[in-house]
Chains A and B, each alone.
With several copies, the nearest count.
Chain A
Amino acid sequence: MSNFEFNHDIDMAWCPGCGNFPLRNILIKALTELQLDPTQVVFSSGIGQAAKMPQYVDASYFNGLHGRGLAVASAISAVNPKLTVIAEGGDGDMYGEGGNHLIHNIRRNPHLVHIVHNNMVYGLTKGQASPTSPIGLVTPLQLDGVYNQPINPMALALAMGATFVARGFSGDQEKTKELIKAAILHNGYAIIDIFHPCVTYNKVNTFAWYKSHTFWLDEAHPKTNKEAAMKLALDEERLACGILYQVEGKAYPQRHPFYQGNLTPFYQRKRDPKDIAKLFNKPKAHS
């Protein structure tokens, strides 16, 4: 058994057949294969079925508010840049309620992995439309079908300047696991949107639907080419899986003037009371 495997006797709160189960396997495998020390891995999640993931992996976590997992994750990685930080949640959590943190953290380029379980529906609250629900999907709140244009998270991330943009599918476990590993190894913000079926509430985007609408990028895809990536991202008929785009970039610890190359975790940084007395005597800066 891997370090991350949860050995407590727990009844996972997902429905039988849910795509979250294979995603959990993938995740644990990815972490294990990278031989990460579980005490140095932290999850930050919001609320939703996807956001329950950290409950079932043995590592530290901050299971906070719906939509806010990325904001919390960004601060955690700022305060201890040596941790492996994973922000994880559902499409509603991360693209709906949390949309503003998404766009502004791409700008910030924190050193973390952002995993979004995209089942194109709100699972935990019983089947309403999510920002990725396809037009026409009938839900309890959209009795005549969804009418809003779904969000295109890949195109959005590219437009915002993300340096690692990838898509996976819980039905393709081996490949998706490799995406997670690549994302963890990437310097800076890495987003992986992972398709997975919600067997209870989404009868349109089923396992079979994902199988027939997705394809995996091969070695030939020039993943440092933004135009090519954008073209793939904007194609909503044939959904590309794999790393659409990856380039080197300066991540937050290299950008923010605070660090100056010193990545010491904050809990190890101590303030000397002697320095404080200087405060009073320091001449005031004038406005």
Chain B
Amino acid sequence: MRESISIVLSGEAGQGLQTVEEFLVETLTQETYVFSSKEVMSRVRGGNNSVEIRVSNQPIQALRYTIDVLFLFNDHALERLLPRLTPQTIIYGEAPFLKSVPSQYKTKEVAFLDLGKQAGNRLYENTAMFGYIAGMIGASVENAKAIITKRFNKRGEDIVTGNLKAFDLGYDLGRQDPDRPKELKPTHFSPKKALTGNDVLSMGAVAGGVNYVAAYPMSPGTTLMTLLEEKSRDFEILVEQAEDEIAALNMVLGAWYAGARALTTTSGGGFALMTEAVSLSGITETPAVIHVAQRPGPATGLPTRTEQADLNLVLYAGHGEFPRMIFAPGRLEDGVEVMSRAFYMADKYQIPVFVLSDQYWLESMSQVDALDFNPKYLESFVVETKRDYQRYAFDKSGISPRGVPGFGLGYVKVDSDEHDEAGGITESFTMRVSMQDKRLHKFDLMKKDIMEPLISGSTKHENLVLSWGSTYGVIEEALDTHPEWDLTHLHFIQVYPLPESLKDIISKAKTIQVIENNATGQFANLIQMTYGVKVNQRILKYNGEPYHIDELITKMEATHE
């Protein structure tokens, strides 16, 4: 039976929540199933942020709303979390931090600061807390200590020793905690690696051959750029901070045109500024890979929170009509697959390809055993040009072979106006139609390269639950724990174009339910539009948080009454 504990750390930006999270997750990922995610305010210091670390005896990729164990980092760290407490929740912290806890809740004073000082420095208090939690849940001391040592090695022996001592002090106390939760150890388990969505996207980009990045900082899209800057020396990647998002995508197009594999990354607001250039990619048939990291809008909205409300924007960005492809990773490993595949598909079909993630997916840590890097995705479709090369030749393959300037004897003439085969401006009505048909015909060609959705649950295919992107883990857990609902889950990693193969399942289904992290049901609309069917029910959430498993089950139960 699936069981889990939800541990939450709450404090100010800058108080080290993330360090404790990383210690814990990296230790636990070697011995059990773990998932963690943070929610932070839009400020640099202060405020209130929290991290949830969920430990389970089964694979897990979802948060829980109610908290089992809560650690407070200061005296104002509780307020925002009050609704998530239950009579069972135990709240830990220094005595003064517990003062504000309403009397009906269980509290437990632990003097982490003192433990730190005992170990030699008040700065070790977070390590003591780590030790305490590790003790409570019975994590391996050996693993934990290895991680502490690795982390502090560069800072000298004293600091390592001090931190190890603080860990021990905490661990012993935690181990003796009479209220500590039942230990959840899976029966079979092989050590895993815990990574964030950002981590795997950056790996996927490298595996897709990225060698040029132009972007303008915007949360939560910036981290991917930062991680690629960190890899830029090892993998020969030119990273360029553009003056604005318009420049960023135009530069990415210039870079592909000149022979690079280029990426831009942004969020909805920054992407809105790129839409004209998306259209430019469309008519010039210049590939582009665009990472859009969703956060709640409209406009500035909630800059550090999560939502899936930019699907429409990405689907329809750009004036005029042209093909595109959109991926939205669900499982951690999808990040590598779709990001490297994006480069390949962009190059192959000469189209803009989107990776549509969200803050929650990007910044959560989950587990993988290993990652597959498909070497095919490095394959280049660029041709050496002959003297009579024509960029927009009507080729029997349906796609005009793409040369790059300086490689071969031809000229590569690319035009944003409607053009003839050579790339010169034309106003011929028939040429217009032929060129438009050539571009739109790629929709047909792309059919053989569409990723089918992940299908799970009931094989009856009568009552469908459709979803996309980051909601995968939480919906799977809900269905897994409620086989009696008899639902079939179709989860889309490729959200556009949608596969024709599903027409049957979808049009024959008795009921279709779509679960999304937005207010209007954008994917549900896409389903209606694509398959000409009616979606019976939309489960929606749009307060800036991802779904929590307990909340989702309640919402779904309500639909099964």
Give chain A's interface residues, CB within 8 Å of chain B. 8, 10-11, 13-16, 38-40, 42, 44, 47, 49, 52, 54-55, 58-68, 71-76, 78-80, 82-83, 96-97, 99-101, 103-104, 122-126, 128-129, 131, 140-143, 200-201, 256, 258, 265-267, 269-271, 273, 275-277, 279-280, 283-287
Contact = CB atoms under 8 A, between A and B. Distances in A.
Nearest to B204: A279
Contact of B246 (A61, A68, A75): A68
B150 interface: yes
Given A74-B251, A141-B217, A267 B238 contact: no
A129 B216 CA distance: 10
B259 A266 contact: yes
A100 B247 contact: yes
Given A76-B255, A100-B243, A15 B44 contact: yes
B45 interface: yes
Contacts of A74: 251, 254
Contacts of A97: 216, 243-244
Contacts of A14: 43-45
A197 B297 CA distance: 31
Contacts of A101: 243, 247
B250 interface: yes
Interface of B: 18, 22, 41-47, 150-151, 193, 195, 199, 203, 206-207, 209, 211-212, 214, 216-219, 222, 225-226, 229-232, 234-244, 246-247, 250-255, 257-260, 262, 269, 276-277, 280, 284, 299-300, 370-371, 373, 375, 378, 380, 382, 404-417, 423-425
Given A54-B413, A286-B151, 8 more contacts: A47-B416, A75-B251, A100-B243, A266-B258, A266-B260, A267-B259, A284-B195, A285-B230
Contact of B244 (A42, A67, A279): A67
A71 B211 contact: no
A72 B250 CA distance: 5
A265 B241 contact: no
Given A11-B47, A13-B46, A125-B219, A62 B284 contact: yes
A75 B255 contact: yes
Nearest to A285: B230
B241 A129 contact: yes
B435 to A, nearest CB: 15
28 contacts: A14-B43, A15-B44, A38-B411, A40-B405, A42-B406, A49-B44, A55-B425, A62-B414, A64-B280, A64-B414, A65-B277, A65-B299, A66-B218, A68-B277, A79-B254, A97-B216, A104-B247, A126-B44, A129-B241, A200-B44, A200-B45, A201-B44, A265-B406, A267-B260, A269-B236, A276-B207, A279-B206, A285-B230
Nearest to B370: A280
Nearest to B375: A273
B45 A16 contact: yes
A266 B261 CA distance: 9
Given A76-B255, A79-B254, A269-B236, A71 B246 contact: yes
Contacts, number: 252
Contact of B230 (A66, A100, A128, A143): A143
Nearest to B207: A276
Nearest to B405: A60
Contact of A79 (B212, B416, B425): B212
A149 to B, nearest CB: 13
Contacts of B254: 44, 62, 71-76, 79
B194 to A, nearest CB: 9
A230 to B, nearest CB: 24
A72 B257 contact: yes
Nearest to A42: B405
A75 B252 contact: yes
Nearest to B196: A284
Contacts of B232: 143, 258
Contact of B416 (A40, A64, A140): A64
Contacts of B247: 68, 71, 100-101, 104
Contact of A13 (B43, B260, B405): B43
B250 A141 contact: no
Counting chain A CB atoms within 10 Å of each CB, the highest count among B44, B231, B232 belongs to: B44
Counting chain B CB atoms within 10 Å of each CB, the highest count among A52, A67, A267 belongs to: A267
Given A52-B425, A279-B373, A266 B212 contact: yes
Contact of B222 (A61, A126, A267): A126
Nearest to B214: A75
B146 to A, nearest CB: 12
A101 B250 CA distance: 11
Contacts of A122: 217
Contact of A283 (B150, B240, B277): B150
Contacts of A279: 203, 206-207, 231, 371, 373
B295 to A, nearest CB: 13
A71 B250 contact: yes
Counting chain A CB atoms within 10 Å of each CB, the highest count among B151, B212, B254 belongs to: B254
Contacts of B45: 14-16, 200
B178 to A, nearest CB: 34
B212 A78 contact: yes
Given A75-B255, A284-B199, A39 B405 contact: yes
A15 B22 CA distance: 24
Nearest to A41: B405
A269 B406 contact: no
A78 B240 contact: yes
A4 to B, nearest CB: 10
Nearest to B403: A60
A215 to B, nearest CB: 30
Contacts of B244: 67, 96-97, 99-100
A287 B13 CA distance: 13
Nearest to B211: A266
Given A60-B411, A65-B416, A131-B243, A83 B212 contact: no
